Chains A and B, each alone.
Chain A
Amino acid sequence: MISWNGKKERRHLRSGRQVTLPFLKSVEIAVKSIRARFFRSFITLLSLVLAISFYSYVSVNTILSQGMRLSQDFPAVEQPVQEGDGGVDPANDPKQRWILFLSLLVCVVGIVNTQLMAVTERFREIGTMKCLGALDRFILRLFLIEATIQGVIGAAAGALLGTLVSLVWSVLRFGSHLLMVISWSDIALSLAWAMGLGCLLSVIGVLYPALVAARMQPVEAMRGRE
């Protein structure tokens, strides 16, 4: 009886000592933060959208040119495809690859930059949360969730934009017949790749700023003056 009571008390003690932030609650807070700072999120997203749409554009172009090359219906097209920008498999063209790499790099640097600014702007908020009992990892998690949500939205917009531009451009150039010969599953796959890449870039970009935020001392909240 005594030991049972003791166990119960210990359990009570342990549950009384916890400091938690349920996952759903952190998602809720993250969504609120994004909505409240729509403009800033928009700027962060913009670089991501552009980089991912470029990536999508290039990879869909590759799929299109492959589709046309394999199909027998485009003998006339062979010529422009051979000499044009889509002529060589773009993904294997070192110049194209280099540009692609640069654009993704610029995108990550841009995200790091805007997120660092966002963290500085939110020092007071982060410090306050820490004074209320938030652990470092809560702050880290909030920023990672925010970045993931932004990554999904930005990458989806970018991937759709890039694919659409590539398709429309090719249809205008080679005619709507093109749409019959290309592999739509490849395009879907490239969309998925682009989205995954976008989320990854967004999370990579926020890692360092989020670490800065999480390590912040709560005394900053006290120090903060308007």
Chain B
Amino acid sequence: MEGASRIVRVVRVKKDFTMGRSVVRVLKGIDLSILAGEYISIMGPSGSGKSTLFNMIGGLDKPSSGAVFIDEVDIAQLDAYELAWLRCRKIGYIFQTFNIIQVMTALENVTLPMVFAGVSPMDATKKGMELLDLVGLKERFSHKPSELSGGQQQRVAVARALANDPAIILADEPTGNLDLTTGGEIIDLLKRLSLEKRVTVISATHDFKMLNVSDRVVWIEDGRIDKIENRDELSISMGKIGDL
């Protein structure tokens, strides 16, 4: 991974939320660099600011101070149109609750980001089928989300996230609503894609299975980075986790 460019750079990011009269400091100064092609997990208890940091990286929220750079572009400087473009082309989102659009079939869900990107319907359909094939759902392209299991829906979401060949995939608790086996399958799928397509995968997670495949794990505690571990160091602390 040496020599790879930094795709995400988080610089002294602080975030305050005003709850009534009191100000809650959720992020208290985060510095983080993520290299292109890395598989990063953000771990931390709920309320640690994990999701907030995650939303910042995804351009879904703006920091109170500090800056988030994606491809060396400060996303706080982007206007609504450029942000939409960023979400459409640069970032693929995967959600805990799948968020497959209920009224559309699997294929239509996968092609929707391509429609926004101005890809012709024929090319979009072709690519959509390839992506569904990639996640192992080629036969179910015409199914509505209600006819798919949770794991299958998440696979559609993975395919959809890849639609415009994004540089980054942001996965928010992608296994949170899945059982152990299907969760494991989704993790394997994400890992495979990050290797094959050289996509940077950033996931916020509670799932310790995720650690096995992560290049680095960022532990967030109380709005600060507690520690960043590489995979080789990880096995030691994994042992500890196993003991707990």
Contacts and interface: CB of A to CB of B under 8 A. Distances in A.
Contacts of B60: 131, 217-219, 222
A138 B116 CA distance: 9
Contacts of A130: 84, 87
Given A36-B102, A132-B112, A218 B118 contact: no
Contacts of B55: 219, 222
B93 interface: yes
Interface string A22-38: 10010001001101110
Nearest to B161: A132
Contacts of A95: none
Interface string B168-184: 00001000010000000
Contacts of B115: 20-22, 25
B85 interface: yes
Interface string A180-210: 0000000000000000000000000000000
A132 B87 contact: yes
A83 interface: no
Contacts of A37: 103
Interface in B117-132: 117-118
Interface string A124-144: 110111111111101000000
Given A128-B95, A135-B80, A222-B51, A19 B101 contact: no
Contacts of A135: 80-81, 84
A18 interface: yes
A23 to B, nearest CB: 12
* Chain A CB within 10 Å, residue with most, of B60, B61, B96: B60
Interface in A68-106: none
Nearest to B157: A128
Interface residues of A, number: 35
A20 B164 CA distance: 14
Contact of A133 (B84, B101, B104): B84
B62 to A, nearest CB: 10
Given A132-B87, A217-B60, A36 B103 contact: yes
Interface in B62-118: 80-81, 84-85, 87-89, 93, 95-97, 99, 101-104, 112-113, 115-118
A32 B117 contact: no
Interface residues of B, number: 32
B155 interface: no
B112 A224 contact: no
Contacts of B61: 219
B160 interface: yes
A15 B119 CA distance: 10
Contacts of A35: 103
Contact of A134 (B84, B95, B96, B99): B84
A32 B58 CA distance: 29
B118 A15 contact: yes
A205 to B, nearest CB: 21
A22 B60 CA distance: 25
A127 B61 CA distance: 13
A218 B93 CA distance: 11
B116 A226 contact: no
Given A132-B116, A219-B61, A222-B51, A32 B103 contact: yes
Contacts of B172: 222
B89 A133 contact: yes
A141 to B, nearest CB: 13
B11 to A, nearest CB: 21
A132 B160 contact: yes
Contact of B177 (A129, A136, A221, A226): A226
Given A133-B87, A133-B89, A138-B116, 6 more contacts: A19-B88, A29-B104, A128-B101, A134-B84, A219-B60, A221-B93
27 contacts: A19-B88, A19-B117, A22-B115, A29-B103, A29-B104, A32-B104, A125-B101, A127-B99, A128-B95, A128-B99, A130-B84, A130-B87, A131-B58, A131-B60, A132-B160, A133-B85, A133-B89, A133-B164, A134-B84, A135-B84, A136-B80, A221-B93, A222-B51, A222-B54, A222-B58, A225-B96, A226-B97
